[in-house]
Amino acid sequence: SLLSSRSLTLKSAAARHASPLPRPSLAARPSPRFAAALRMAHGKCRAEYIWIGGRGGCGDDYRSKTRVLDKRPTSVSELPLWNYDGSSTGQAPGGDSEIYLQPAFMCADPMRGGDNILVLCEMIDPKNNPIPTSTRSVAKKIFDQAPEEEPWYGIEQEYTLFQDGVPMGWPKSTARPFDIPSPLMQFGYPGPQGPYYCAVGHDVSFGRLICEEHLELCLEAGLNVGGINGEVMPGQWEFQVGPCVGIEAGDHLHMARFLLQRVCEENGVIVSFDPKPIPGNWNGAGCHTNFSTKKMRADGGLKVILDACEKLGKNHEKHIRLYGEGNERRLTGTCETNSIDNFKYGVADRGASIRIPRFTDRDGKGYMEDRRPASNIDPYVVTALIFDTCCLKGDT
């Protein structure tokens, strides 16, 4: 038995080296109850301070570090100001590298469980101004101009899961799919779009465990995530945040993206927020932004919605500039999008820039869906811009 246990050890060591990404699965993380027991032993709270690095609020540059506190704070105002080295994130020169972290939003930390928390921060320079990548306070100023409008947002975050350089479900190849003119010409590539959207089955659904685990973590954190679904391109998924009021939409979306990055990290998968990860006849990834105000939701609201659509049409170019980098690769006028160069709105029209849901048309009140934002938007910027154009003077 000594011999067999030794060979077992050798075998498992070999197996470990054979695997390119020997990561523990999330199932191996301490349960919240175990984490709580640990907490009782030391009595401390671990606060994970999260901020956005130099690439901006596009979803792929979250940074974070841990601060140990004596106890869990009851609100963000109790959290200490902190700082980080901005020269290491492309946000400050080495000679004057300190950027302050001002806690802005907190929630439970579902990875660590117990009394531990996640803290989303604004990034503040030594003169006490937010740095350019810190867009929250600008957005909040815009929302604070007309809180009586009670703006609601529902954001549909689409994303693509990559493993070993290709989207999940795509064959591993020495040539990246980007380099292949028509993926359909290659044996083993997924067949044309059609069977993947909201699909069930091993041959049509790729990466569900990540999507499910992410939803569970968001709910444990207390984030307002309303649903998940498989998307039109294989390896692509969506989660929805909202409806959230004003600035909360950006807070919850950034925090949910951070958790998606963490869940993918633990499982050896890379999440891409690129608006068009695979060129050609494959759907891109967007962040449809559903929007309503108190007046739009009340009787006669359809007229307010149509007015807002007209205003959005007049400001199309201004919005497109802030609706995600590389969005011109996605808004081609095919694959359920309208062309980036023109604006139209319509009832139940998935080829329009703005879709008015059929129920909203029927009821004469409700909400609208701006289908233009790309998956890599900064949600603070987009939600505040829509508010400014539709409800304020539109001069931001």
Nearer to ligand ADP, 141 or 358 (CB): 358
Nearer to ligand ADP, 263 or 354 (CB): 354
Report d(CA 280, CA 193) in Å as an integer. Answer: 11
Partner that binds at residue 91, options ligand ADP, Mn ion, none, CB closer than 5 to 8 Å by kind: none
Work out how close the CB of 281 gets to Mn ion at its nearest, in angstroms, rounded to a whole number.
Answer: 17
Nearer to Mn ion, 248 or 370 (CB): 370
Nearer to Mn ion, 254 or 288 (CB): 288
Nearer to ligand ADP, 55 or 344 (CB): 344
Report d(CA 396, CA 386) in Å as an integer. Answer: 11
Work out how close the CB of 359 gets to Mn ion at its nearest, in angstroms, rounded to a whole number.
Answer: 14
Residues 181-240 contacting Mn ion, CB under 5 A = 238
Partner that binds at residue 291, options Mn ion, ligand ADP, none, CB closer than 5 to 8 Å by kind: ligand ADP
Nearer to ligand ADP, 89 or 240 (CB): 240
Q: Are 376 and 326 in contact (CB under 8 A)?
A: yes
Q: Could you tell me which residues come within 8 angstroms of residue 142 by beta carbon, excluding any fewer than 6 positions away?
A: 384, 387, 388, 392, 396
Residue 388 contacts Mn ion per CB under 5 A = no
Binding site for ligand ADP (CB under 6 A): 152-154, 156, 226, 240, 242-243, 288, 290-292, 297, 366-367, 369
Work out how close the CB of 57 gets to ligand ADP at its nearest, in angstroms, rounded to a whole number.
Answer: 19
Helix axes 379-391, 136-143, angle to 10 degrees: 20
Taking CB atoms, the residue at the shortest distance from ligand ADP is 154
Report d(CA 144, CA 332) in Å as an integer. Answer: 36
Work out how close the CB of 350 gets to ligand ADP at its nearest, in angstroms, rounded to a whole number.
Answer: 8
Fill in the per-residue mask, 143 to 172: x = in contact with Mn ion (CB under 5 A), - = not in contact: -------------x----------------
Work out how close the CB of 357 gets to ligand ADP at its nearest, in angstroms, rounded to a whole number.
Answer: 8
Binding residues (CB under 5 A) for Mn ion: these are: 156, 238, 288
